[in-house]
Amino acid sequence: MSTIHSVDLYPLFVLLKRPYGDANGWKMHRAALIIRIHTASGISGWGEAVDWLPSLMRLFEHRIVPEIMHQDARHIQKWVQKIARWNRRAASAVSMALSEIATKQAGCSMCDWWGGKLHTRVPVYASFQSYVQKERWDRLAVDQVLAAYEAGFRQCKVKVGGRTLQEDQRHIQLLLNELPANARIAIDANESYDAAAAQAWLPLLAQSNRWLWFEEPISLKHAEAYRDLKRQLTIPIAGGENLTVSKDYLPLLQERALDIVQPDPMHLGGIEAYRHMLALARTHGLRVSPHTFDGALSRHYAVLAQACLPAWSKMQGDELEPVEWDAMENPLGELLSIKPREGHVVVPDEPGIGAEVDEELLQALKWDGSGY
């Protein structure tokens, strides 16, 4: 029986020991809503949404759960499209859970459900929120990256755009001086600059060939400005994490404004919509390095989808783009059993998503409903 029998909701919340942030502000806590949908036959699937917890809980309790209860779990697109009209992130959570149920019913892995994996390992990069409330924040930020290097990461991303240009460039110069030569670096400005400020990075960027990309230096609303900046840069330019429908990428694709697109599995209103964006990028001859800072489950789905993505290059060791791996304090990132090793994640073959959710940790991090 594929009838939806029950839905478990796990609102999770944890206060951070030490706030950190980027150009958008400080993170004082991490939160997520984990859902588990059960069918009458005993098969279940996990999903995840990250948004304002009180509103997410009300939406699921009073609208989504009553809507899908006792319905056919196989009708994935029907329910995902309907829920996406209310909340695209909630739709992504339901999409994850129902997709895992479908693969378990078929007795295959998620990658096999999508036609089979093309890569047995997927590279990941250590992603940092560089700012902390300390006088020598740049020293602490560099030390964090060096620790990730010692743990096996050879690719990393750090933040700029939230301090003065002088402070941020001092941070990046310090990182270049101390990080071993075989490590590669991306810098992310979170759309902080105008074109002139972004161009002020050109001399420093020209000093090294170790860059992965320059991420969202200016607002993504200005596709022509991105195109013009791209012509001046000697390194790839990346962006797109906050776009919520595929058509929003079209101006950037049509202007050839990006080298690397960065969709987020949680933002596009369903896993199939996310995979459609991957295919759209490849159709335009572009690389894809997904944004997955906000959730362990969505990150895992990105890894699985990346494993099924045709290589962008024939260069051995550089044929597949990396997936973002949150390297900051975040207990929610420990929910899944899958962990990186030497900067890669081995793609599982077990039915479903091939990863176990730590249910003890779910209970330990459960939000008590009090104010943030």
Please indicate whether residue 230 is annotated as part of the active site.
no
- Please tell me the distance from the alpha carbon of residue 37 to that of residue 57, in angstroms, as a whole number: 15
For 226, the token pair is 């991105």
N-terminal to C-terminal alpha carbon distance within the chain: 40
Beta strands in 134-236 (DSSP E): 155-159, 184-188, 211-215
Please indicate whether residue 5 is annotated as part of the active site.
no
Q: Which of 222, 291, 300, 344 is catalytic?
A: 291
Q: Residue 137's CB: how many other CB atoms inside 10 A?
A: 17
**Got the DSSP string for 88-128?**
HHHHHHHHHHHHHHHHHHHTSBHHHHTT--S-SEEEEEEE-
Q: Residue 49's CB: how many other CB atoms inside 10 A?
A: 26
Q: Which of 117, 119, 157, 159 is catalytic?
A: 159
Long-range contacts of 23-27 (CB under 8 A, 24+ apart): 23/159, 23/160, 23/161, 23/162, 23/189, 23/190, 23/191, 23/192, 24/162, 24/190, 26/131, 26/133, 27/129, 27/328
> How far is C-alpha 290 from the geometric centre of its chain's CA atoms?
5
How many Cα atoms occupy the beta-carbon half-sphere of 134 within 13 Å?
Answer: 12
- Please tell me the distance from the alpha carbon of residue 278 to that of residue 284, in angstroms, as a whole number: 10
- Please tell me the distance from the alpha carbon of residue 335 to that of residue 345, in angstroms, as a whole number: 15
Q: Reduced to 3 states, what is the DSSP secondary structure of residue 205?
A: helix
Amino acid at 233: L
Q: At 325, which helix (H) or strand (E)?
A: strand 323-326
Catalytic residues: 159, 291
